[in-house]
A and B are shown apart, each in its own frame.
Chain A
Amino acid sequence: MGRNHDTLLRKFHQARWDEPIIFEMSVPGERGILVRQAEKSVENEVGDGVSVIPSSLRRTVPPQLPEVSQVRVLRHFMRLSQETMGTDVTIDVSQGTCTMKYSPKVQEHIATRHPGMAEVHPLQPESTLQGLLEVVYKLDLFLREISGLDRFTFQPGGGAQGVYTGASIVRAYHAARGDVDRREVITTMFSHPCDSAAPATAGFKIITLMPDEMGYPDVRALKAALSERTAAIFITNPEDTGIYNPRIDEFVQAAHKAGALCYYDQANANGMLGIARAKEAGFDLCHFNLHKTFSVPHQCMGGSVGAVGCREALAKFLPVPQVEFDGQKYALNYESNESIGKIRSFIGNPQSVLKAYAWIMQHGSGGLREAAECAVLNNSYLEKKLIEIPGLTVHYAPDKHKLEQIRYSWEKLYQDTGVGTEDVMRRMADYGLQHYWMSHPPWIVPQPFTLEPCESYSKDDLDEYAAVLRQISREAYENPELVKSAPHNQVVHKVPEPSIDQPERIAVTWRQYLKKKVASSG
């Protein structure tokens, strides 16, 4: 029996292994692996090797690691993987703003299995890294085309670190001009939290613009906030609502007029590849998340790359080393007196760069545009299906076309039934879908959730996704307790207090848990 043809629902149950914590599996004396030991002749020459360690620095008590045989370790982590709903096993429309697209296996296999990638040391002579440097250099060229900007770095290990890199460049740019009083950064509430937090970490005071009644950032508020103290604006477009701000160039022009730089967080770029670029909107800097837009897998939150691009005038501030090409060979250039230095060790995550390169090579400009178009079409199609569901609304600009994602609201459902967005979120995985992502706090949109059905999902996938939400809405109206007490068919049951803030409840390691358990039972 397969999926029900009428309802499009499937009888799903996630793997539930009731798996212990690895420490509970320990049997004294068991070995997970035997490791290489020095040759006898080496030992004869240098002795036990460890006697030379000063006594104050010798480990006297071995680490209390578990002792578990190999097959049991393997089985344990296999089971934990089965208790994880990666995009490879679900219709992952759920994690809006994250662009959960298919990560092609071919690039994964090459990047992880080929010794020319897996077994390469970052400090090898450049002559032995020519293939790798070529990939880095060419991805830079590709992203220049896709953004219209002039130079990229792949050193940042994620989008937020990309934004931090941008903030560091902004700081260096104004410092180089002696414009030291520019200490403020303006962002918007519907831009990602890192657009305020990363510049704040770089020392800037943050001004956050709230959305107007249409969901757009307020241009009058921007103009009022801009001054000779403004270092930059950090902004997303479309914002997390999916609504493209048609006056974005007005924002950029106003900021430039005030002497500020403009940073474009392009985490939401997937619907615009080949259609609209940072350059035409006037931005000075931008970043793409290679793990969102360019198919690198999300890897349980990394590693990946926040690829930061800028205009030529800012290129001298980029982190070192930069990859250069003289027409014959590729080289790493560490010389840049005005560089911000380093953001991450070596040249970042080259294996992610290779995967993004592969994806672009496989699609070309036509394929990139096809991906963008299908992502936007999927979003419109899903919206059309969802707005028919009782209790569900599109909070902002319901009559306008959104691009790649939409922030929806269950406020009406909540008012009608008492079932809120967190309840629905828990319930949906009972039907084999990843929990949707709601919204970063604060919830400007009440009872929010955010969906991004990127180009990887078929029409049939979207129909099934809509069917699940329709079913849960029906359950909320007919039997709200069923939804409120979810999950029912998953790995574990509902956690009654998932926010752990009291010191006596905080246990982030097994040893801390055991100590607190003893303390509470004593």
Chain B
Amino acid sequence: MVQSNEKTVFPYIPNSVPEVKSQMLAEVGASEIMDLYAEIPAQLRFQGQMNLPEPILDEYSLKRHLRGLLEENKNCEEYLNFLGAGCAQHFVPAVCDEINGRGEFLTAYVGESYADHGKWQALFEYCSLMGELLDMDVLSCPLYDGAQAAATSVRMAARINGRREVLIPKTMNPESSQVLRNYCQPDLSLVEVGFHPQTGQLDLNDLSGKISAKTAAVFIENPSYLGFFEDAAEEIGRLAQQQGAEFAVYTDPISLGVLAPPAHYGANFACGDFQPLGMHLQAGGGLGGFIATADDMKYVSEFKDLMFGITETVQPGEYGFGEVLFDRTSYGSREHGKEYTGTTTGLWAITAAVYLSLMGPRGMEQTGKTIMQMSQYAARCLSAIDGVELRFNSPFFKEFVLNFDRTNQTVAQINRSLLENKIFGGKDLSRDFPILGQSALFCVTETKTKEDIDRLTSVVRKVI
């Protein structure tokens, strides 16, 4: 701590040096600082003292304090983690952390495409790399998270066809569906489509009964929240489009080295969350949403967020960037813009660009394959335990539902026992999906080894 005349000089506030402050006050013709607040009338001034803790002024003590707090948490490096459910523990290449830790990116904001050319290019590359992964031509700057991407996709669809009803699967990610329920008010209504009890997949009879000329969009997840594939995705899309509805598919981008992107089975919108592409868990803080469509002005003009287009500068052949259809956004047209836009997740989008650049086609394919193998291995080992069953018989990606009804224990009890063995068990589904009984959603990514899975299996066998 630096002291001057016994008054604290804050290292982040250069002009808190009393002599400097006095000199500047004199230069602006003020005798005291409150002269500068003359416009705030007395009755609107806060007369009291904010009841905040005594400050921890020096950096070392602050660091100790923060570290002490974080050490109250357990984490997924010291515990074996099988939680996913919308935020998954994937491998993060060191180069991703190196780039998103760069001060220039970390502290940039809304600068223009000259001084911030690198930021514009990196975000253009994010869109371009995601475009290849999704095999679609158009993306905007990122959205807040996958849930927002789902919500905006269906609102885009409704604006395009002027309809008001959206069909969603009953098995939808409950975090996303809660966001969607709020975001669709007051104009859109959501209709849930049931699932096949053995496969988990969308019940096509129920879908056929519910789809109509009022349907704005049919929204599915593939892979689904509960892990399984929607085998009939192409047919679902056809049914939607025959009725003049848009077909929106929420997908997991890390599956797309082995799984067909939604565009290949007829989706008009591909959306999802790119957290798996290079972001740490961060207690959910690493999420970021994407939406992709074909190059058709019907879709392009309905995106709500900024779009950076590549163009040329006055020097022939030199790349520059510009704003695409700026008046489309609320920055350009206030309440007449498409929904609203603002600060979202730019740094994570740049990180995803780094991730995809490192992975290339081979890395994505191999990672997809490893996840398929490890998750199948885990499902096979766990469901071999007496009383533990795979709830659905569909093939799946990364996550699967295990049912524990025959163990006479609740998922909560089992997870408590796993915790004692330094394992975070699968997400307890009994609150969100009571129809599935005592079931849990286990997530197995490329970060899990055979040894990890064998350990989980032996502990589960022991505790039930």
Contacts and interface: CB of A to CB of B under 8 A. Distances in A.
Given A340-B182, A343-B179, A456 B311 contact: no
A104 B348 CA distance: 20
Interface string B242-263: 0000000000000011111100
Contacts of B231: 54, 56-57
B44 A129 contact: no
B135 A63 contact: yes
Interface in B171-195: 175-176, 178-179, 181-183, 185-187
Nearest to B418: A125
B313 to A, nearest CB: 4
B345 A302 contact: yes
B445 to A, nearest CB: 10
B462 interface: no
Interface residues of B, number: 214
B359 A32 contact: yes
Contacts of B85: 123
A459 B16 CA distance: 11
Contact of B309 (A142, A340, A508): A508
B281 A122 contact: yes
B123 A33 contact: no
A503 B110 CA distance: 25
B283 interface: yes
A226 interface: no
Interface stretch (B92-100, B161-169, B209-217): B92-100
Nearest to B280: A118
Interface in A73-129: 73-74, 76-90, 92, 94-95, 98, 100-104, 106-108, 110, 112, 114-125, 127-129
A482 interface: no
Identify which of A14, A66, A123 gathers the most chain B CB atoms within 10 Å of its CB.
A123
A53 B41 contact: no
Contact of B117 (A38, A84, A88, A377): A84
Given A86-B106, A441-B332, A129 B373 contact: no
Interface string A355-384: 000101111111110110110111011011
Contacts of B405: none
A151 to B, nearest CB: 16
B53 A401 contact: no
Contact of A458 (B14, B115, B139): B14
A65 B137 contact: no
Nearest to A165: B182
Interface string A487-504: 100111111111111010
B282 A117 contact: yes
Contact of B76 (A121, A276, A302): A121
Nearest to B282: A351
Identify which of A122, A301, A490 gathers the most chain B CB atoms within 10 Å of its CB.
A301
A46 B124 contact: no
A208 B335 CA distance: 10
B18 to A, nearest CB: 11
A177 interface: no
B142 to A, nearest CB: 8
A250 to B, nearest CB: 10
Contact of A303 (B68, B113, B345): B345
Nearest to A238: B39
Given A62-B361, A495-B313, A361 B62 contact: yes
B50 A146 contact: yes
B205 interface: no
Contact of B21 (A84, A164, A377): A377
Contacts of B264: 59
Contact of A53 (B33, B49, B131, B229): B229
Contacts of B70: 110, 114, 116-117, 131-132, 354
Given A80-B122, A114-B67, A300-B119, A492 B45 contact: no
Contact of A89 (B97, B103, B372): B103
Contacts of A366: 8, 55
Contacts of B332: 441
Contacts of A346: 86-87, 175, 283-284, 287
Contacts of B21: 373-374, 377
Interface in A264-315: 272, 274-277, 280-281, 289, 291, 295, 297-304
A77 B283 contact: no
Identify which of A130, A300, A345, A493 gathers the most chain B CB atoms within 10 Å of its CB.
A300
B197 interface: no
A408 to B, nearest CB: 16
Given A249-B44, A493-B313, A197 B337 contact: yes
Contacts, number: 742
A120 B95 contact: no
B342 interface: yes
A289 to B, nearest CB: 8
Contacts of A67: 360-362
Given A58-B259, A346-B284, A106 B122 contact: no
B109 A160 contact: no
Given A84-B105, A493-B314, A33 B282 contact: no
Nearest to B397: A53
Interface stretch (A2-10, A17-25, A411-419, A467-475): A17-25
Contact of A65 (B56, B132, B349): B132
A261 interface: no
Interface residues of A, number: 217
A477 interface: no
A362 B53 CA distance: 10
B27 A493 contact: no
Contacts of A509: 124, 127-128, 130-131, 137-139
Interface in B27-82: 27-28, 30, 33, 35-41, 43-46, 49-57, 59, 62-63, 65-79, 81
Given A42-B377, A193-B331, A440-B331, A81 B102 contact: yes
A343 B182 contact: yes
Contacts of A494: 114, 313-314, 320
Interface string A48-60: 1110111011111
Contacts of A276: 40, 44-46
Interface string B115-153: 111110111110111111101011111101111100000
A243 interface: yes
A32 B53 CA distance: 48
Contacts of A449: none
B339 A197 contact: yes
Nearest to B328: A501
B104 interface: yes
Identify which of B39, B112, B147 gathers the most chain A CB atoms within 10 Å of its CB.
B112
A148 B46 CA distance: 9
A258 interface: no
Given A64-B132, A161-B144, A508-B324, A342 B357 contact: no
B430 interface: no
Given A63-B364, A200-B335, A300-B347, A73 B95 contact: yes
Interface in A419-443: 425-426, 429, 434-435, 437, 440-441
Given A118-B282, A121-B283, A80 B119 contact: yes
B108 A493 contact: no
A134 interface: yes
A198 interface: yes
A228 interface: no
23 contacts: A21-B319, A35-B359, A68-B358, A83-B117, A84-B115, A84-B117, A85-B111, A86-B108, A88-B107, A120-B282, A121-B424, A130-B72, A131-B69, A131-B70, A157-B144, A277-B46, A297-B107, A342-B178, A349-B282, A376-B33, A426-B114, A492-B320, A498-B322
Given A35-B366, A81-B118, A515-B137, 11 more contacts: A77-B122, A85-B115, A86-B103, A117-B282, A298-B107, A300-B108, A361-B56, A362-B55, A365-B52, A366-B55, A434-B111
Complex A-B, nearest 6 residue pairs according to Cβ-Cβ distance, in ascending order: A160-B342, A116-B70, A131-B72, A364-B55, A83-B118, A346-B284
